[in-house]
Amino acid sequence: MTEVKSAELEALMDLVVPIHGQIEMNRIFFETLSRNTRHPFRLIVVDNFSQDESASYFESQRAKGWDVTILRNPHNQCYPFSINQGVRAGDASIVGFLNNDILVGPGWDEPLIKALIKDGYPVVSPGGLEHFPDPKLEEIFFQRWRYINKRRWSQSPTLNLEEKIRRMYGNFDETAKRIQKKYDDVHYPGIMGHCHLLKRETFERLGGLDPRIQSADWDLFLTVERMKREGIFEKSPMIFGGSYVHHFIRLTDANVKRVPPVCAHAPHMTLEEKWEKREIQELWPFKDQVPDGQKSLSKKIFKKYVRGKTGLYYWRVGMEKII
């Protein structure tokens, strides 16, 4: 492989985040992103007709020295259209697709940038609740967050979000660092829909995201994996345990249901309308998620066991007793 110069590993990133309101979440998201990202980045915010002060909040960060671009849409646009719009408004060699309902761990970007530039992966993602390096801990983490997230801990929207994170992790940064250190050498095929990075040249080769498919992460992974089998890419999209990002899960979806997207492109379609079931089953790495996928009896029993034990134990104890 061609030697990679250190300057290339310091490449500017265009991080694209579509938003539709959620001012409290946007503040927490940016505070964590600005504190824990190590590479220089330009944040491209695609504001999809927010009815609160979210766009103004991000604009105010420019006065503090942050490189932030705001694109204001007159309607709420769908996720893949917004991502394409944001990416094409920038010019950095690395692009990131981010949800606004995430918290990034300290140095989350470092192993991902290395994997893109030095190791040649086409798409890279951090580990997280949905796909954790340890399958058993994944279920415990997921059920713990499910238990904590569905409860209201404060009447203040901001304090409620902060308390959820505190109850989940204690000190988020310290827990994320511990997770990243433990799984630094672990990586596996997959993608995290709420956060992934790729080279701009890869994005252009793909022609951007298909705006018809709201399940953009599935469609992106399947497309790249098929192109790999055709010899266009050498490697699969990969999740890296040395990077950890927390996803609030469904926070954005609940908002979109109240104000549906208004799109001018070709009508939306389901993943199964674009892809044959056989292709999904063959290409998607998480076999229990594919159409007609079945969990084993042992997994079903373990899931019920963890769900029950979470209410009695797992949600109460510190993360150091679980990890």
For residue range 154-187, what is the model confidence (pLDDT) as tens digits?
999 999 999 999 999 999 999 999 999 999 999 9
Our count of domains for the chain comes to 1
CA–CA separation, 198 vs 203, rounded Å?
A: 7
Encode burial over 89-114: b for 16+ CB neighbours within 10 A, e otherwise.
ebebebbbbbbbbbbbbbbbbbbbbb
71 belongs to a structural domain: yes
3-state secondary structure at position 29: helix
305 belongs to a structural domain: yes
C-alpha angle 118-124-128 in degrees, rounded to nearest 5: 130
User: What's the CATH number where 305 sits?
Assistant: 3.90.550.10
- 278 membership: H or E segment, kind and range: helix 277-283
Q: What pLDDT is attached to residue 228?
A: 97
In this predicted structure, the answer to whether residue 253 has a pLDDT above a threshold of 80 is no
In this predicted structure, the answer to whether residue 257 has a pLDDT above a threshold of 60 is no
Is pTM, for the whole model, over 0.85?
A: yes
- 123 membership: H or E segment, kind and range: strand 123-127
Residue 104: closest CA among 120, 88, 72, 126: 126
For residue range 78-105, what is the model confidence (pLDDT) as tens digits?
999 999 999 999 999 999 999 999 999 9
The runs of H, that is alpha helices, within 45-156 are 54-60, 79-87, 109-117, 135-149
307 belongs to a structural domain: yes
C-alpha angle 19-22-27 in degrees, rounded to nearest 5: 90
Q: Which domain holds residue 116?
A: 8-321
